[in-house]
Structure 1
Amino acid sequence: MLIDSLKQYFFIDSDQTSGQSEASFQLSILRILIALTISIFFISELHSLFIHGELFFFEMNSLYLCALFTLLYFSQNHSQTTASLFVLSLVLVSGVMLLTNPEKESEKYALIALYSIPLITRLLFSFKASLVVMVLNFVPFYLVTTQWLNSLPANESSSFYFQLLTFMTLNIGLPLAVSQIIHSLENHSTRMRALYRKLNENYLLYEEFFENTGTPTLLCDQRGVLIKANQLAKKLLGQKHHSTFSGTRMGDWLSPLNNESKLFWQSNKAECTLKHNTDMHIQVRRASLTNHGHYILHLDNMTEFRAIQQQLENTQQTNSRLAHFDLLTLLPNHLNFCRQVNIKINEQEHHLTGAMFIIRISQFKLLNKQYGKDNANKIILNFSKALQNKLSDQAIVGRLRGVKFACFVPLNQTHLIQKNLSALIQSLLPAQLMLDGRRLNMDYQLGISYYHTDGKTAEELLEHCEMALEYSTSTDKFSFYNHNLESKLVREHNLSLKLSAAIKHKKIDIWLQPQVNASGEVRSFEALARWKNEGVFVSPMVFIKLAEDLGMLPLLAENLVRELVDTLSVWHQEHIKTPIALNLAGQELMNDAFFALLMTLIADNPWLSNMLELEITETSSVMTHPLIHKRLRSLSQYGYAIAIDDFGTGQASLGQLVDIPANILKIDRRFVSPLPQDQRHVDIVKSTIQLANSLNMQVVAEGIETKEQATLLIALGCHTLQGYYYSKPSPLSDWTANGHEKAKQHRMVY
């Protein structure tokens, strides 16, 4: 205890490397030197008291000892002052001993003390202060040496050399050597402080990296003893107190899975669970092996991943079923159906014959609208069940999409005949289905192809069934694939591509056919679309139907209307009062942009009401749509003349006269061509003219090819006549050539 207190008192901050180390070092040296001086003078005090018995020296020693103890006491708070006073006291004591004590031995001790002051000064102060004291010591050295040389005999020079050696060693040699040692120690200390700062910075950087790796990270040795962990790792492991973590082992926190080695932390990757929570899965990844033989481990919480993985495994069968079967009917979907059919074909390739057919429920859109989506799904489900019940185990049935079902049925020789196959398929299809106690009559369309003859794979057979289905109708529901049909589809496809380009580049021409009155004067024209493909005219019935299928009728009609309006604008300026009628199929009026164009044109050119007539093809199915009737009423209110074309051949003819605000009625050529021989057609035309007159509508008869037909129609009261008998259609350019010369001949029709 006493020794520790003395060490703490004399060896101050012996391990300290901070900026206060130099002051602590000087304070420690000061205390040691004062204590040593006290010891020397205390021994001298005892010697003078008991041996010499001189009271004067006893009193002087006692006084100096008191001064030394005082300096030792004040050394803590006034170290620099104490050091100065201590050095000054040594000088004074040495001087007093040198001047007052005539003994040679005392004089030597005084000189040794005096020559030691530069060393003490270097230890307590700076090198410069030590140099100053060295220089000052030359004065007593000179005085003492001169005195000795004068008093000694000439042959006794040993005392002089001893004096010189002592002076050089104590006054010069030792202070310089100690200065060099202190200088080296200071340089070393400076370098050590720099290294310490750098080491501290690197340590802080390492700490920051370790703490902010973004993942829970551990540091352990090869035995699995944990050395360090960042906050994420501590949080993941559930470690709350540092004392409960440091020095523990990996096995205290984690348990390996899947028969992993007990030394799982030495593996590159290991799956574990927490000891205190086995539901939490942890993946341990070894990042690297450090130079110290330690392992850096990254921890990943795999609990959610494990849960998702388990969920995926649990739903794998369900996903597989959804990927291969229709969700509603549980029938094979397109890919699975083709796979099953191809397997059957490959198993029995040499002796298998069969038929592939696609069934489409014809009236399903109407059923969907009438009964709702849920009940429509019930119809599909009931149909699939009824179909499967009637098919043999050898047949394969699947749902393609929507209301299309595909069947592959093995055939015998009897059913290779189309008539017998049609009867077989007809017997398989349920004629009626039950829906909530109601019986629904079912109607179908089918496309059929034969295995071997029409294709070798399920995909090829289905493709040919789709082609055949395109040509099934409400009257001819069973359509068989043949190569001519495929060629026809290819031709129509190529023709549709050319037609699309022709419409986009405005290559469809306008031809005009005159409409005359009873006296044969031109009253108006009908604009007819003509298309010449590779030098050959394509029938309007063909390319108009193609344009309708392509959805390009609105664009075609827009091109024709704009060209007609440009021509009519010139005619209006030239006072040519001959109107032109343009035929519309209904799809154009359903188009918002085309309807807006018609409204804009007549708003900007009010005179168009007398020059442009709109003929509505009454055979178009969309003519029954309420939106068509609404828009035709708007066009009529804006001034357009509305004509019903092909009257008597289309959708609800008499009803159309009520719903459509028409003022012109056109009698179709099918009623005109049998005239005048067929009396029934005469009566039909007569009644139609009378109906139009009663509704205050004008009548136009088209398709007139003979004089007898023209004479009869005039006699029946027909207002306007049209046909080859009067004039064939001719290009619009014929009527606009030479400054519209031909059209000007009819400028004053009215």
Structure 2
Amino acid sequence: MLQDYERKRLATLRQLNLLDTSPSESFDRITRMASKLFDLPIAAVSLTDQDRQWFKSRIGVEHIEIPRFKACCGEVADTADLLVVPDLLQSTQYQDSVLAESGVRFYAGAPLTTRDGYTLGSMCVLGNEPRQITEDERALLQDMAAMVMDQIELQHAFGRVDPVTGLPNRNQFIEDIEDLKRDKSGLRYALHVDLFDENQIRSLQRVVGLPSLDNLAREVADYLKQRLQNRERLYYIGGCEYLYLLDGNDEDINDKAQALWQLVSDVVLDESSPLLHTPVIGIAPFELSDAVGADIIRTVHSASQDARHTGEDVVLYSQQLDAEHRRRFTILHDFRQALDSDNQLYLHFQPRLNLSNNKCQSVEALIRWQHPTLGVISPAEFVPLVENTSLVREMTDWVLQRCIEQINLWHQQGCSLQIAMNISGSNLDEAGFAQRILSALQEAGIETRWFELELTESAIVSHSKQAMKQLQALADAGVSIAIDDFGTGYNTLTYLQEVPAHVVKIDRAFVFNLEQGPRNQAIVNAMVNMAQKLGYRVVAEGVESEQSCEYLRTIGCDEIQGYWYSKPSPANECCALATN
């Protein structure tokens, strides 16, 4: 942890471009003031490099750097605390230091700390005689260190003005919030203006390039500066996104936000933009007394994203929606750890009943997650999230290995069960996915007939010809392919002619109320007949009553799956069903 801090601290120091630069009057003015106020001959702005103390400004000392080893300023950088050494010769740590050998007896230094918490060095005063320091002098030295940091941030990397738009940036916003907290209290509102959605921004970058995007940001900034009254409260936070800070009350804030939205909507963009801007505004209320600038930016951005998703122009921040977004983030963040854990992820298996012999010959593997703090997370919640990330490959591989292990274990127990495993459409776009499946089965000594892959018809329809080739390779090798949620898509008849599948699983939406009327029965009957005439084996999902089961038996459906026969259960319970 300390090594990581030191690495980041040095990176911050170098980013500021202060080391080995020419003297600066703005810093020299501070050191001269420090020397006079403390009535001491030596004062310096000392920066702690990897192995040296380099003086950006100094008075009363000739050399511009000293070794970091046994340097008082080095201890200030390490501890981030004010350091006072009344007499270096009486200090076991510093009595043989470079400073002590040069005649220095007294040292006091206050840390130069960035807003990110990295201590760059110290504002220090030194004397040739032993000395004590009062509480007032401690406070004064710390104030002078703050003045040095203000000068550093003003002149260097931690700028407060966006160079493209000329507007204050997010760093200035965060600082302004802190300043407001010192002098004022009460309710404030942050408004986040998002000019384009993410897809439009990507299209703009690709079509017109970053310079044209900068021109658009500048154009809108100039337009808003001309029309808004509180110009000092408008900020640019990048990506054609703006922040507007307002006083107000619950009665008029929505009217003000709507007026701002209309103002932004009316802007006429440069002809170089091939897209229409689609602005949305998010509103986040906050109390100054406990406000944190970075949190305000996050919450107001969340509100504008809610506006995008709902199709509204202006949306007030919702704690509930934000909590849902943060939960989704937590789930994705923690899923990788779950994959590496031995006790979070596990499989349950839902049996299928063969209606011709009343035996269980196949089960569907279903992933489950017991999160250490969130408890049981439904696969309906986490699987769709994972499927939209690169983690989908690792999740599929995890399930594949557990299925292979279970097939082997069942066969050792004399239990002959085929396992059906769900895959995502994005798996089919992975190079070598089919070969990966076949190699894993071969290495485990499992015949392909004991393995089935399920994927939804929407996943099939939305993927490439390469995906179809992978399915064909798996089918040619003897792996059964099942189309899940059959009947819910728009291109059912079309893809039935193209997909190398063996099984169709009629979606539970058609089966759930099967016994309640002839209309539902007629639809299911037609689906079973059509699929079987095309050569598919038919499984009805969501069977929850004996009446539904018997109807499906009478129309010749091959298999059923649902709570009436068995809920998803641990592996040993499935094996018991298969041997009965």
Q: Distance in 2 between matches of 1:617 and 1:744?
A: 30
Equivalent in the alignment of 2:500: 661
Moved more, 538-547 or 651-660: 651-660
1:654: Cα distance to partner?
5.9
Structure-1 residue corresponding to 2:299 = 464
SS of residue in 2 equivalent to 1:730: coil
1:478-627 equivalence runs, <5 A? 480-484=316-320, 499-507=335-343, 508-519=345-356, 520-533=358-371, 537-545=376-384, 547-548=386-387, 551-572=390-411, 576-591=415-430, 596-604=435-443, 608-618=447-457, 623-624=462-463
> Which runs of 5 or more structure 1 residues have no equivalent in the other structure?
1-267, 270-318, 746-750
Q: Partners of 1:538 and 1:392 in 2: how far apart? A: 47
Question: In structure 1, what is the Cα distance between the partners aligned to 2:247 and 2:422?
Answer: 50
Deviation sequence 1:648-690 (CA, Å, 0-9, x none): 5468666654664333222322333243446765565455445
Distance 2:207 2:305 in 1: 25
- 1:194 aligned partner: none
Change (3 A) 1:467 1:689: same
The answer to whether the 8 Å contact 2:511/2:542 transfers is yes
Alpha-carbon distance between aligned partners in 2 of 1:489 and 1:454, rounded to the nearest angstrom: 26
TM-score normalised to the size of structure 2?
0.58
Q: Match of 2:192?
A: 357
- Give the Cα–Cα distance (whole angstroms) in 2 for the partners of residues 502 and 321 of structure 1: 39
Q: Cα offset for 1:408?
A: 1.3
Instruction: State which of 389, 393, 398 in structure 1 corresponds to 2:223.
Output: 389
Higher helix share: 1
More strand by share: 2
Instruction: Give the superposition deviation at 1:461.
Output: 0.9
Q: Secondary structure at the match of 1:696?
A: coil
When residues 568 and 621 of structure 1 are mapped into structure 2, their CA distance, relative to the original with a 3 A threshold, is: closer
Other-structure match for 1:474: 309
Are 2:472 and 1:637 aligned?
A: no
Q: For 2:294, give the aligned amino acid.
A: E
2:486–2:505 CA contact under 8 A, matched in 1: yes
Residue number in structure 1 paired with 2:514: 675
Asked if the contact 1:387/1:429 (under 8 Å) is kept, the reply is: no
Query: Is 1:731 equivalent to 2:573 in the alignment?
Result: no
1:707 to 531, 540, 546: 546
Correspondences of 1:93-172 after superposition (within 5 Å):
none
Deviations 1:80-115 (A, max 9, x none): xxxxxxxxxxxxxxxxxxxxxxxxxxxxxxxxxxxx
- Is the contact between residue 456 and residue 483 of structure 2 (CA under 8 Å) also seen in structure 1? yes
- Displacement of 1:576: 4.8
Partner of 2:10: none
> Shift of the alpha carbon at 1:614?
0.9
1-structure distance, mates of 2:534, 2:469: 20
Alpha-carbon spacing, 1:514–1:473, altered in 2? closer, same or farther (3 Å): farther
The one-letter amino acid of 2:566's match is S
Structure 1 residues 742 and 696, CA gap change in structure 2 (3 angstroms): closer
Q: Deviations over 1:621-650 (max 9, x none)?
A: 995356544433433333322222224546
What does residue range 403-442 of structure 1 map to in structure 2 within 5 Å?
A: 403=239, 405-410=241-246, 412-413=248-249, 416=252, 420=255, 423-424=258-259, 426-430=261-265, 440-442=275-277
Contact 1:644 1:664 in 2 (8 A): yes
Aligned mates of 1:326, 1:467 — CA distance in 2: 22
CA RMSD of aligned residues (A): 4.7
**Whole-angstrom distance in 2 between the partners of 1:660 and 1:381:** 49
How far apart, CA to CA, are the structure 2 residues paired with 1:667 and 1:582?
17
Task: Deviation per CA, 1:482-530: give whole Å up to 9, x if none.
Answer: 4455655666666666644332124322111111233443242111112
8 Å CA contact retained: 2:219, 2:269? no
- Where 1:726 maps in the other structure, the secondary structure is coil
Q: How far is the alpha carbon of 1:705 from its aligned partner?
A: 1.1
Q: Is the 8 A contact 2:217 2:240 kept in 1?
A: no
Distance in structure 2 (CA, Å) of the matches to 1:450 and 1:397:
16
User: Relative contact order, CA 8 A, sep 6+: which one is greater?
Assistant: 2
Asked whether the 8 Å contact 1:358–1:448 carries over to 2, the reply is no
Residue in structure 1 matched with residue 3 of structure 2 by the alignment: none
Letter in 2 for 1:372: R
Seen in structure 2, the aligned counterparts of structure 1 residues 494 and 382 have a Cα distance that, compared at 3 Å, is closer
The structure that has the greater radius of gyration is: 1
Structure 1 residues 539, 422: closer, same or farther in 2, change over 3 A?
farther
- Report if aligned partners of 1:618, 1:644 keep a CA contact under 8 Å in 2: yes
CA 1:329/1:597 → structure 2, altered by over 3 Å: closer, same or farther? farther
Q: Distance in 1 between matches of 2:385 and 2:317?
A: 21
CA distances 1:379-410 after superposition (whole Å, capped 9, x unpaired): 67447635763662426554434x46132142
Q: Residue 352 and residue 703 in structure 1: after superposition, are their counterparts in 2 closer, same or farther (change >3 A)?
A: closer
Q: Percent identity?
A: 23
SS in 2 for 1:543: helix
Distance in 1 (CA, whole Å) between partners of 2:490 and 2:158 is 44
Q: Which amino acid aligns with 2:353?
A: V
- Aligned to 1:729, the other structure's residue is in SS state coil
**TM-score, normalising length: structure 1:** 0.47
Note the C-alpha offset of 1:423: 4.0
| 2-structure distance, mates of 1:742, 1:506 | 27
Structure 2 gap segments, 5+ residues each: 1-61, 64-154
Task: Report if the CA contact (8 A) 2:361-2:578 is conserved.
Answer: no
